[in-house]
């Protein structure tokens, strides 16, 4: 009985926590991978890298706290994508990723910008903008996919967008 209550408690906490439940310590900052930094103002190159990442990771299932092709959460996918494809080491959690960069209007989005969503009372979700209203992310229900900002769910959950330095 105690085990059942404990498991139920963990389920409730993770359901409300949203994506990126693995906390970081210290202030939110970006580090660079030596020799791998992509100029984020070069939208063609950024898109090329993001679509390559999608090809490698598409349909990888969602797993809270996951950081591999066996399962990954939204902030982990953003973390892995920026590290391996764009040469930047971001914080691991959505809570710290949202502190990075400059807030921009949705109509100013370009490839590589981070898009954030409120997915419940305390839940947060993050993805990477691609182009033409589409973004790349790890969906809790479908794994790594490309979605549209104008889909009813994402449109109603949209919170803010952040642009990292070039």
Q: Say which of 92, 124, 137, 163 is annotated catalytic.
A: 137
Q: Say which of 92, 124, 125, 163 is annotated catalytic.
A: 125
Per-residue b/e over 128-157, b at no fewer than 16 CB within 10 Å? bbbeeeebbbbbbeebbbbbebeeeebeeb
Q: What is the pTM of this model?
A: 0.85
Give 50's pLDDT tier (boundaries 50, 70, 90): very high
Q: Say which of 40, 46, 72, 74 is annotated catalytic.
A: 74
Q: Is 21 a catalytic residue?
A: no
Cα–Cα dist 108/13, whole Å:
35
Q: pLDDT, tens digit, for every residue of 73-96?
A: 999 999 999 999 999 999 999 999
Q: Is 128 a catalytic residue?
A: no
Give 13's pLDDT tier (boundaries 50, 70, 90): very low
Q: What is the CA radius of gyration of the chain?
A: 16
Q: What is the mean pLDDT of residues 95-108?
A: 97
- Which domains, and CATH codes, for the chain? 2-163 (3.90.1720.10)
- In this structure, of 1-10, 52-61, 64-73, 134-143, the range with the lowest mean pLDDT score is 1-10
Q: What is the mean pLDDT of residues 5-17?
A: 42
Q: Is 4 a catalytic residue?
A: no
HEC readout, the chain: CHHHHHHHHHHHHHHHHECCCCCCCCCCCCEECCCCCCCCCCHHHHHHHHHHHHHHHCCCCECCCCEECCEECHHHHHHHHHHHHCCEECCCCHHHHCCCCEEECHHHCCCCCEEEEECCCCCEEEEEEEECCEEEEEECCCEEEEEECCCHHHHHHEEEEEECCC
């Amino acid at each position: 009985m105690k085990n059942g209550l404990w498991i139920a408690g963990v389920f409730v906490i993770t359901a409300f926590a949203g994506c990126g439940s693995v906390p970081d310590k210290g202030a939110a900052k970006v580090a660079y991978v030596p020799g791998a930094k992509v100029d984020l103002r070069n939208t063609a190159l950024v898109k090329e890298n993001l679509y390559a990442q999608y090809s490698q990771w598409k349909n990888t299932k969602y797993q809270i706290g996951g950081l591999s092709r066996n399962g990954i959460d939204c902030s982990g996918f953003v973390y892995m994508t920026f590290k391996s494809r764009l040469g930047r080491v971001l914080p691991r959690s959505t809570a710290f990723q949202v502190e990075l960069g400059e807030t921009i209007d949705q109509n100013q989005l370009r490839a590589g910008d981070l898009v954030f969503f409120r997915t419940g009372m305390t839940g947060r979700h993050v993805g990477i903008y691609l182009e033409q209203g589409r973004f790349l992310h790890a969906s809790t229900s479908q794994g790594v996919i490309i979605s549209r900002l104008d889909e009813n769910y994402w449109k109603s959950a949209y919170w803010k967008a952040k642009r990292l330095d070039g």
